[in-house]
Structure 1
């Protein structure tokens, strides 16, 4: 007799312990809370033939960038589910396998088809969602709207206080510009399940988009101490606190947070977060006119040198370009740009030509050729969304354009961009810049 998960979906295991440990492990996995690995291992130990437990464990390995282990676990799951899985479980494992094996278009198509039949299978529904989900990294220009559409299509299948769905629905709306709805949903998700890293992360983002820096700082400072430093997003949520301080012009506080939580020497996050958070923080600090302390860029570059050596992962490519530009590694940056152009010409870079262009712009900015930087960025600014990540992460491109406009004497264009940004959200930094331009 099969057991049921929290959403009343049958599980092909005869072990009550395996089913219970699996459900607990899924909740930890989807809230990114420490303990998921041990809990899912306990499910496997209770039933060594439980395919979905292996698939979930593979997914966690993949999130942690443990590629070899992820592929081994998903291969085991594929073997088991072929022998004793239901139709849903076979589809579930196949979609996870596509994602782990780097077949993103198949994974996205499979996830959408799967959730049309089994919308409450939240492991699969989670795959297209989030800042690093299949939609975000699909190269689509409208991935923010696609996430909203997916959530709204399936909203009727979830209870009003479902902590998991509240969060991802809120994230989707917040990133798509409906800040009020995004804020209410994500904050409710965090209330229902406080030990939910994805909800704390989403609240930080939606408060950032609302310009509610004081509230965001309180949320982060109250919540982060409960989350172990080994947690996947610990350093990234601290990065949000560093950005809040930087926006206020409090560089001492910003650097304190960076050195305690974000720097490569202290962060226990996964490589994509460490590379993007370190490079984007230091780049912002420098672009805003502050001095980056000696050695910080070199430390970021040393860490980054071990990862993302091959061009083709657009979000990583841009942040690797920031590191190379800031440290004067023009050879590495030129090689990456050439590789990206070749991928575009071959039709093998979903995000398209915006990727090599923003990498070229980074080099121009670092070389203090602000007119050229602005000329490169202005035509492609609307396509930056295609590299994925969050709005807060991508805003660094617009910041670079804005500073380039100010420094190249394009005051009218800079004022127009600042005015547009300030109509979207309050910002003490943007207000200061606009007042300076008006006074000039």
Structure 2
């Protein structure tokens, strides 16, 4: 047995494999583009590295693309075979595979439960902690993220190289609960302990954005450019935050420049990249900025996913891109797919029923008075769609815009009151309110 630097016990007897897997875990923590290569190196050195197969399976699942589901299934099969060859492996390995089984079957909730229970006596073991944090993020489980982060910090050993990354996750969890002073403290500590912790940098930028400290946020992101620009496509997301801060300042030319150079420098189809781009262009459109042909590539990608409801968060962003270019057929197909998803089983079917269907109908202009009557319930359930408060704010704004376009200024004001619990009022929401009042008087 081997206990790696991040305190995970594995059954490998290959030193080269141990080092390569530590590189892969570090890459996961830092959002580095070489993480996949490190995972491949691990399996070349030890084809039966159980944890590497498990991580590969999780990596395919969190990308939330229907065509990658077979890859996750294959990784699970490989992990099971590796366990058998290792006479059942270590307890840590068995827990990881057990959790992957639940996730591959469609239940991230059950996967999280298995990770939490399996590592209850050592919650600061970094890989399972990070995996559960990532799954909770996709489920919008801020309470769970905070509880797990708090437990992990209490059990940190001074020698744990994952300490900075764990504090970064705690900082993000605190920010999502509106505990901004504590989030800043944890975020600063994360970056002090581990300057490569882009998630900690990211958490601090969230605080500045939510508080309306626009210049502080810009300064923070610009001063840490050398760190976050080394990331994989997470750098696109960091740039998205920077663009939002400039949007609040009204510097639309700078926003478009950031969009072209840093938010959308490549026409990728990763759902996170799509979410960045779609939500930013939508905001620009709302304030009257002409974005040229920038919707075109987003709509082309969305058309290829007009039946993909693997992740409702992604499907709703794809729907927005189709609506933006007037693709009624594609939008109708995706609304139908979300409605069909709602009749199924599993985590995302529940999300589709509670959030996806009414939100999709509102975005597509198919909303009825009955849909608007469940507004409060939609706002309460909205975290279940996943992502961060900052990302979900797009849906809040889109709801307000859809309701306001019918002249329901009271409904928009009500959304504004609920929104203030998460974010200070900004110029975009005020613009939506003004438009609603104008629609009412027209």
Structure 1 unaligned regions, length at least 5: none
Distance in 2 of aligned mates of 1:290 and 1:375 = 29
Match of 2:208 in 1: 207
Match of 1:121 in 2: 125
- Match runs of 1:185-204 below 5 Å: 185-204=186-205
Match of 1:359 in 2: 360
Distance in 2 of aligned mates of 1:276 and 1:180 = 28
Q: Does 1:90 align with 2:89?
A: no
Can you list the C-alpha shifts for 1:303-333, whole angstroms capped at 9, x where unaligned? 2223363335211121122112222222222
Distance in 2 of aligned mates of 1:374 and 1:304 = 26
Match of 1:279 in 2: 278
Go from structure 1 to structure 2 and tell me whether the alpha carbon gap of 1:390 and 1:230 turns closer, same or farther (over 3 Å shift): closer
Go from structure 1 to structure 2 and tell me whether the alpha carbon gap of 1:117 and 1:381 turns closer, same or farther (over 3 Å shift): same
Q: Does 1:334 align with 2:336?
A: no
Quote how far apart the aligned CAs of 1:195 are. 1.8
Asked whether the 8 Å contact 1:3–1:12 carries over to 2, the reply is yes
Distance in 2 of aligned mates of 1:116 and 1:89 = 15
Distance in 2 of aligned mates of 1:103 and 1:370 = 32
TM-score (norm 1): 0.84
- Match runs of 1:144-183 below 5 Å: 144-159=142-157, 162-183=163-184
Distance in 1 of aligned mates of 2:205 and 2:267 = 20
Q: Which moved more, 1:39-48 or 1:404-413?
A: 404-413
Can you list the C-alpha shifts for 1:402-421, whole angstroms capped at 9, x where unaligned? 34555544445545654664
Can you list the C-alpha shifts for 1:49-88, whole angstroms capped at 9, x where unaligned? 3322333344445556665555444432321122211122
Can you list the C-alpha shifts for 1:196-221, whole angstroms capped at 9, x where unaligned? 23223222223222222212212222
Match of 1:47 in 2: 46
Structure 2 unaligned regions, length at least 5: none
Asked whether the 8 Å contact 2:306–2:334 carries over to 1, the reply is no
Asked whether the 8 Å contact 2:412–2:433 carries over to 1, the reply is no
Quote how far apart the aligned CAs of 1:286 are. 1.5
Can you list the C-alpha shifts for 1:130-157, whole angstroms capped at 9, x where unaligned? xxx333444x7xx221222233344321
Distance in 2 of aligned mates of 1:431 and 1:229 = 33
Match of 1:303 in 2: 301
RMSD across aligned positions (CA): 3.3
Q: Give the length in aligned residue pairs.
A: 426
Q: Does 1:350 align with 2:354?
A: no
Distance in 2 of aligned mates of 1:321 and 1:228 = 29
Can you list the C-alpha shifts for 1:257-296, whole angstroms capped at 9, x where unaligned? 0011223xx2376611122112111111112x31332211
Go from structure 1 to structure 2 and tell me whether the alpha carbon gap of 1:253 and 1:128 turns closer, same or farther (over 3 Å shift): same
Asked whether the 8 Å contact 2:285–2:291 carries over to 1, the reply is no
Q: Does 1:36 align with 2:40?
A: no
TM-score (norm 2): 0.83
Distance in 1 of aligned mates of 2:231 and 2:187 = 23
